[in-house]
Amino acid sequence: MSMKVVIIGGVAGGATAAARIRRLDEQAEIVVFERSGYISYANCGLPYYISGAIDDPEELTLQTPESFFSRFRVDMRVLHEVTAIHPEKKTVSVKKLATGEEFEEGYDKLILSPGAHPTQPRLPGAGLDKLFTLRTVEDTFRIKNYVDACRPRSAVLAGGGFISLEVAENLRELGMEVTIVQRPRQLMNPFDPDMASFIHAEMRKHGIRLALGHTVEGFAEKDGGVDVLLKDSLPLHADMVVLAIGVTPESALAKDAGLELGVKGSIVVNDRMETSIPDIYAVGDAVQVKHFVTGEAAVISLAGPANKQGRIAADNICGGDSRYRGSQGSSVIKVFDMTAASTGLNETNARKSGIDCDKVILSPMSHAGYYPGGRLMTMKVVFEKETFRLLGAQIVGYEGVDKRIDVLATAIRAGLNATELKDLDLAYAPPYSSAKDPVNMAGFMIENLKNGLVKQWYLEDAEGLPRDGSVTLLDTRTPAEYASGHMDGFSNIPVDELRERLGEVPAGRPVFLICQSGLRSYIAARILISHGFDCYNFAGGFRFYETVKNERCLIEQAAPCGMDQ
């Protein structure tokens, strides 16, 4: 007798599982219930449809129920909502949304792929019709139709994650005034505040207004638009508002069925994607996973993990033994002309997890400097002190960012030590890279730290450095660079003049060095160390310091209404 598998939810995890089960078992009966009208759609592409970057709505639909049936003989039922799971009877209750008709469907194996829904704050005015969320194809059409019909001139986006930034960019491309408001004082949680500064600068450069550190207290209709009410500040007014304050696992069905729940109400599964009740599996944004680096329980809503989990559940249902090893949150986002990417743990979360960590910050070129078109990127690599275990990385730049983050993500997954990055044999030709690839460079820098060739000082030390002459503060850039801006209290000796001017560096005092990127000051440190000086090199260089400091000033000085440019 053939096995019957019921899958709740399509999109990434459910559709992947359905196709994989069919590839492994031609006899299985497979039924998918999807509440929305779309069975398998590119939800990561939804923001780009709003601006017309993706102009054909059919491009968003990866499969239709008909195409899925003709290829995989999977019974895909859209506009069907599962209202209850009955594990003791091995059935689910289903409501046909078009007619309201209800029925029960039996299963041998059940896969939950319900995803997550946009977090809806319990705030006054949260139901207004000019308030939008973006999760489904229907949500996208609703926003697109409103934009096309009403030609709104302004929008406020609540939240500062992936969806918010992508929607902000796409609305800005349509010529709208866009403001992002949120409680944290930075956009993009996967990034540390220092690295997020580069994302902020790019957003501001393209006219996006940032109202960071503001708490939204409600919404009110006013003058044909919406007032976003802020705590301790004047309201922000716009023609439309998009709520993008995160997602919440869709786990009500699982809870009612008695399945064990975990972090943020997510569904607890083991590494075979099995829930606490036999023959019920769960995958995707609704499940609790193990963070690959820390081993801690986490909820990581990304398409890559959802697809892998769908495949793993299918393998196990069909008699295999596949296991999910954990998520490390590798991600990349287009921010206007820039690319920002991260993997593993950032410094903030490493410290929260109680890990004693260190970091290197570098500004390599995307490819050989002599080949035209190279652009600087800023890389931050975080590792554990003493053990030099690689914990995570963040990169902000232009071309070549995605390539480097994928190499670093692979290195973390393979358990490479941070110093072993220097040994990676990476492809080089002048249009693509440098003979010392940025990833190799990070490895060289970490090895220098390990071997005691250099010691570092950091952005967070800048304010507290003594300016009383007890330490020497030295900027090793050219006089022209120094004149165009330097850190308070630093004197200037260019690295190429240092050997001749050693007499100007007082003996017996620690020397704190800085240059534009950290390279010339490292060379200066090596010269001084060979003459018996105790030296510290600034991690990131003046370019990094200036970007972060300027951004922090803008956040501090934000006008009462938060509408700073």
- Catalytic residue numbers, as ranges: 44
Cβ-Cβ contacts under 8 Å for 241 (sequence gap 6 or more): 128, 130, 131, 132, 155, 156, 157, 158, 219, 226, 228
**């019974």: which residue's tokens?**
75
Length of the chain: 565
Our CA angle for 21, 8, 90, nearest 5°, is: 85
Instruction: Give the whole-angstrom CA distance, residue 246 versus residue 183.
Output: 13
Structure tokens at 420: 């072993």
Q: How far is CA 92 from CA 32, 89, 105, 115, 117, in A?
A: 12, 9, 5, 18, 21
Specify the 3-state DSSP secondary structure of 361.
strand
Helix 11-24 to helix 303-317 angle, to the nearest 10 degrees? 30
| Among candidate residues 497, 490, 461, 456, the one with its CA nearest the CA of residue 475 | 490
Cβ contact 32:77 at 8 Å: yes
Structure tokens at 225: 């638009």
Strand order in the sheet with 209-212: 131-133, 240-243, 154-158, 177-182, 209-212
Specify the 3-state DSSP secondary structure of 222.
strand
Cβ contact 188:203 at 8 Å: no
How many other C-beta atoms lie within 10 A of the C-beta of residue 357? 18
In the 8-state DSSP scheme, what is residue 76?
A: E
Structure tokens at 470: 């007890």
Cβ contact 263:251 at 8 Å: no
What's the distance, Cα to Cα, between the start and end of the chain in Å? Answer: 67
Instruction: Give the whole-angstrom CA distance, residue 160 versus residue 166.
Output: 10
Q: How far is CA 35 from CA 5, 92, 132, 390, in A?
A: 17, 14, 19, 42
Cβ contact 20:279 at 8 Å: no
Q: Are strands 247-249 and 154-158 parallel, antiparallel or unpaired?
A: unpaired
